[in-house]
A and B are shown apart, each in its own frame.
Chain A
């Protein structure tokens, strides 16, 4: 049962800090919404649509940060065989995938008024699309095995392979994009960041990150409990470990 010794400490720690991270998340996002929607001015080029930036860019940040978190946890899980690290990697990918999805959708909603089209093969959006597929592959591999432990190990290797590949993909997509940039599409450049825009952007960015931390903690707690439940059920089926194997456990 030493497998759960450390997660038990984690459960206690998580339930202590969780209310605080949740409160900070609400505070930061609330302030970010206030400054982003009410205080900050419209961009002189992009008009009011610039406000989409305050959800689009933080979503992109979290999408990438979640992948790094996932890859880091996967490395720890593979090298030190730390059970909690595997669970962190497993919990991070659905959150990361959600934010990648949000980044794509809000990017599309920003692109329509700015480019006149829902989708442009813009370098950043294209990289995000591939990141989304990487997340989907990770989640699919996690759940493809009857033994969840095997799924986590395989997914950890995939996460690291993807992480090594991300810079190459990013580079090649950037290069491909400069080659094929059609002249008619104006690039969705970041507007020149005015301090009045930087403040809500940073507030939302940190707020989204804290949201990620909060939900990640919740999910890891969920996974720890799920592993515990699975272990109990297994002992019910196979009898207690170390007990008489010919016992009437199944009788």
Chain B
């Protein structure tokens, strides 16, 4: 346990080393997650739009009316 504690203390620089890794992890994970969620959101939106307008041609006017 002692070696583990000394490992995590990073020679007294724990605050710097671990916060550098933590902020990198947070930014990278947030970037990936936000992009992923944005993509899923757009996919959903596109699906809804195409459901409203079957074939996307001819009935676009109804689509507007339904959307209100």
Contact = CB atoms under 8 A, between A and B. Distances in A.
Do A and B touch each other in the complex, judged by CB within 8 A?
Answer: yes
Q: How large is the interface on A (under 10, 10 to 19, 20 to 34, 35 or more residues)?
A: 35 or more
Contacts, number: 102
Interface in B40-67: 42-43, 45-46, 49-50, 53, 56-58, 60-61, 63-64, 67
A215 B13 contact: no
Given A98-B31, A102-B27, A110-B20, 20 more contacts: A37-B21, A48-B11, A48-B12, A49-B10, A51-B17, A55-B20, A95-B31, A109-B16, A112-B16, A215-B32, A218-B35, A219-B39, A225-B42, A225-B46, A229-B42, A229-B45, A229-B49, A232-B46, A233-B49, A249-B64
Contact of A55 (B21, B50, B53, B57): B21
14 contacts: A42-B11, A48-B11, A52-B17, A95-B31, A102-B23, A102-B27, A110-B20, A112-B16, A215-B35, A218-B32, A222-B39, A225-B43, A232-B53, A240-B60
Interface of A: 37, 42, 47-49, 51-52, 55-56, 59, 94-95, 98, 101-102, 105-106, 109-110, 112-113, 211, 214-215, 218-219, 221-222, 225-226, 228-229, 232-233, 235-237, 239-240, 247-251
B interface, over-half SS: helix
A101 B13 contact: no
Interface residues of B, number: 34
Given A52-B16, A112-B16, A222 B42 contact: yes
Most buried by A among B12, B23, B42, B67: B42
B16 to A, nearest CB: 5
A225 B64 contact: no
A222 B38 contact: yes
Q: Give the residue among A95, A110, A229 with the most B Cβ atoms within 10 A.
A: A229
Nearest to B40: A222
A177 to B, nearest CB: 23
Top 5 A-B pairs ranked by shortest CB distance?
A: A225-B42, A48-B11, A48-B10, A106-B20, A109-B20
A240 B67 CA distance: 17
A28 to B, nearest CB: 13
Given A56-B20, A211-B28, A249-B60, A48 B35 contact: no
Given A55-B20, A215-B31, A236 B42 contact: no
A104 B10 CA distance: 21
Given A59-B24, A225-B46, A229-B49, A239 B60 contact: yes
Interface in B5-31: 10-13, 16-17, 19-21, 23-24, 27-28, 31
Nearest to B26: A102
